Each structure stands twice: as C-alpha cells, then as structure tokens.
Amino acid sequence: MSKIRVVHYINQFFAGIGGEEKADIKPEVREGVVGPGAALKMGFKDEAEIVATVICGDSYFNENLEEAKPAVLEMIKKYNPDLFIAGPAFNAGRYGVACGTISKAVQEELNIPVVTAMYVENPGVDMYKKDVYIVETGNSAAAMRKAAPALAKFALKLGTGEVIGSPSEEGYISRGIRKNIFREERGATRAVNMLIKKLKGEEFVTEYPMPNFDNVVPGKAITDISKAKIAVVTSGGIVPKGNPDHIESSSASKYGEYDIDGVMDLTEATYETAHGGYDPVYANEDSDRVLPIDVLRDLEKEGKIGELHRYFYTTTGNGTSVGNSKKFAAEYAQKLVAAGVDAVILTST
C-alpha cells in the first residue's frame, strides 16, 4: 500500500523563522518536513509521509483572511494530499484560530480528512470543535513530546479510514455530536446506580451534560402598530389542506411559504395541521386556533394593524432539531425583511 500523503500546516514560530516580530510573513510552502513535522514523522512510522509543509505568519493569516485562506488552500491542493494536519497550536490563540480555519476550509474544499491539535482553552477550540477533530494537548510547546505522537496516531486512524471512537477513547476534544450507543446495562439500572452514587456523595457521570441555551434579545417595540406590516410564522404545522409540500409530521426538513392573499379565515375545508406532536383535532377543525388569520384580518379591517403580510411561513416544531430551525429562520427572515415586514407574530402549538 502506498503511503498516505500528508500536508502539514505550521506557523512562523514552529518553522523556526521567528517569533512575534515575524508573525506577518506571507504563506510559503516547503517540500517535506519542517519543525514539528519531524516528530509527526516518527509517529507515522512508514504508513504516512509529509509531502509538504505550509508556513504562514499568525498575524498575516488572521488579518488578511481573504487573501491568506485561498493562497494557503491552493498550496495544499497542489500536493494532492490524502490527509491534512495543522499544528499543534497548544495555547497560542491566533495560531489555533488559523489551524481551525484552514482545517475547516480544507475539509470542505478538498473533501479530505483533517485534524488539528490544541489546548482546550485555545479560542480556536470553541470556534472549530464542531467542525473538525481537535486532538487535545497541553498548554505550551513543552507538551510537544506527548502531543506529536498522539496527533500522529489519530491522523493515521483518520487517514486509513478507521472508525473514530469516543473523545475519551481517542483523545480529541468533544465535538458536541450526540451518537447512539448500546451500554452494558438498561437505562433503569443505570439510573438507580447513578442515584445511589449521588446520594452517597460519590462521583457519577451524567449521560447528558446540560447545554447552554442561546438567549434571544427581544426586538424593539413597534412604535405605531396601526401602520405596521405584520407577518405570521408558526411551528404548529398549519398548511393548506393536503399538505402540498409534504412537511414532515415530526423532525421537519423543510418549511412552507403560503400565500394568504384574500384569505379571511382558515376553515376545516381549506387548512389543517401537519404536526404529529399534539392532538390535531381542534387545529384541524379551525386552524385559526394555531395561526390566527381571522382575528388579524379583523384587526386589519379595523385599522388596528397596518396590514397582514401576504405570505405566512410554517413548519412542524415536533422533534425538529435546533439546527434545522435556525436554518429555516435564517432563510425566511431575509424574505420577511425584503418584503418590508415590521413585526412577526410567532405561534407554536
């Protein structure tokens, strides 16, 4: 089997060019191993080979991202690698961010496995741990002796397409990706054991650490609602009868945009819910219960609101991931803004 072709990315300091005073050097490429690449090479044994090393100053990369990123990418691409490694960056902040940025770009553009390595508090970790594998290292270059073999070992696994185990097994920083596994004991037994440990004050490991939730700052109040253009958006699954776009009853992969020009009332004959997560009987009888078009038309007629926007946006919130919800909202929010909508009423179920 031929060796895995690796391109390695390092900064000016690890290339031996200089410290902070040389942080503005532009990207360059050298054939073969430079600096920490030697330690990686030892870890690779004969299975992989560093064919080129790309070097860039940390300041230059971060301050000239628009030029630096494509230039570095081009250099990497030229060597036709099977695998890309950046760092280790330890606790060097700008270096860590550069390693994360370029690793993510290589993964997306060249579609090859990538890995970088850094200290858990490096700002690059929070920015990129969801996107790329980051092998955990100590906080300074003094930890190179441990970090390089760990990084080399992990890179070989990626390069040979082996199944990557959990963060604790493999030594990378958790990416926050939830995966199903089968444990030794059933859930009830695990729960009882955990409770007994908690009661005794012994250590226990939760199976789901609580996430930090985003807090959304409420928008500014509308000064004159009688002039405002109001739109309605719902996660209650209200759709034209027959669900023409086949929005899923749970875990929606899409949202619908429907024209309500001239629609004064949502009736049993014309609208229904596609949502599979609540008792649908009352929503199907009268969808205004979830998406109050009838009342908004009254308010429009009475001049209490300026106008009701011509389209409404809808999806099913049931089992739908936050990831998908954010994606939908980012799209239709643009449409709402473009249409001059002043305020949106969001309804759930």
Partner 1 sequence: MRLELGKINITDVQFGDMTKVENGTLYVNKEEIVNLVMEDEHIKSVQIELAKPGEETRITPVKDVIEPRVKVEGPGGIFPGVINKVATVGSGRTHVLKGAAVVTCGKIVGFQEGIIDMSGPGAEYTPFSKLNNICLVIEPIEGLKQYPYEAAARMAGLKVANLIGQAGKEVTPDEVDVFETKPLFESAKEYPDLPRVAYVYMLQTQGLLHDTYVYGVDAKKIVPTILYPTEVMDGAILSGNCVSACDKNTTYHHLNNPIIHDLYARHGKDINFVGVIATNENVYLADKERSSNWTAKLCKYLGLDGALVSQEGFGNPDTDLIMNCKKIENEGVKTVIVTDEYAGRDGASQSLADADAKADAVVTGGNANEVIVLPPMKRVIGMLDYVDRIAGGFDGSLRPDGSIEAEIQVITGATNELGFNKMSATEY
Residue with smaller CB distance to partner 1, 43 or 276? 276
**From 46, 183, 218, 269, residue interacting with partner 1 (rule: CB under 8 A):** 183
Contact letters for partner 1, residues 108-137 (x by CB under 8 A): ----------------------x-------
Among 102, 313, 318, 328, binds partner 1 (CB under 8 A): 318
Buried b vs exposed e over 94-121: b needs ≥16 C-beta within 10 Å?
bbbbbbbbbbbbbbeebebbbbbbbbee
CB of 321 to partner 1, least distance (A): 3
Please identify which residue in 78, 198, 301, 304 interacts with partner 1, judged by CB under 8 A.
198
Instruction: Output the six-digit token pair for 59.
Output: 């300041």
Rg (Cα) of the chain, in Å, rounded?
A: 27
Q: How far is the CB of 212 from partner 1 (least distance, A)?
A: 8
**Nearer residue to partner 1 within complex by CB, 206 or 223:** 206
Closest contact distance (angstroms) between CB of 40 and partner 1 is 24
Alpha helices in 207-280 (DSSP H): none
x-or-dash pattern for partner 1, window 259-278, by CB under 8 A? -----------------xxx
Task: Decide: 130 and 175 in contact? Cβ < 8 Å.
Answer: yes
Local structure of 211: helix, strand or coil: coil
Provide the token pair at 12.
């000016």
Residue 31: is it exposed, middle or buried by C-beta count within 10 angstroms (0-12/13-18/19+)? Answer: exposed
Q: Of the candidates 229, 223, 226, which has an alpha carbon nearest to the alpha carbon of residue 303?
A: 226
One-letter amino acid of 72: V
Question: According to the binding rule CB under 8 A, does residue 185 interact with partner 1?
Answer: yes
Of 148 and 239, nearer to partner 1 (C-beta) is: 239
**Shortest reach from residue 200's CB to partner 1, in Å:** 8
Residue 104, H or E segment: helix 93-109
Q: Dig out the tokens for 70 from the structure.
A: 């494509």
Q: Does 203 bind partner 1 (CB under 8 A)?
A: no
Nearest Cα to 316, choosing from 249, 240, 224, 231? 249
In whole angstroms, how close is the CB of 272 to partner 1 at the nearest point? 11
d(CA 20, CA 262): 66
Alpha carbon distance 247, 254 (integer Å): 6
**Minimum CB–partner distance for residue 315 and partner 1 (Å):** 13
Residues 41-80 that bind partner 1 (CB under 8 A): none
> Is residue 191 a contact point for partner 1 (CB under 8 A)?
yes
> Least Å distance between CB 279 and partner 1?
3
CB nearer to partner 1: give 66 or 202: 202
255 close to 329: Cβ distance less than 8 angstroms: no
How many Å apart are CA 95 and CA 35, to the nearest integer? 15
* 206 lies in the binding site for partner 1 (CB under 8 A): yes
Among 19, 203, 208, 302, binds partner 1 (CB under 8 A): 208
* Shortest Å, Cβ 15 to partner 1: 33
Terminal Cα-to-Cα distance of the chain (whole angstroms) = 58
Residues of the shown chain interacting with partner 1 in the complex, contacts defined by CB under 8 A: 130, 164, 166-167, 174-192, 194-196, 198-199, 204, 206-211, 213, 246, 248-251, 253, 276-281, 317-324, 349
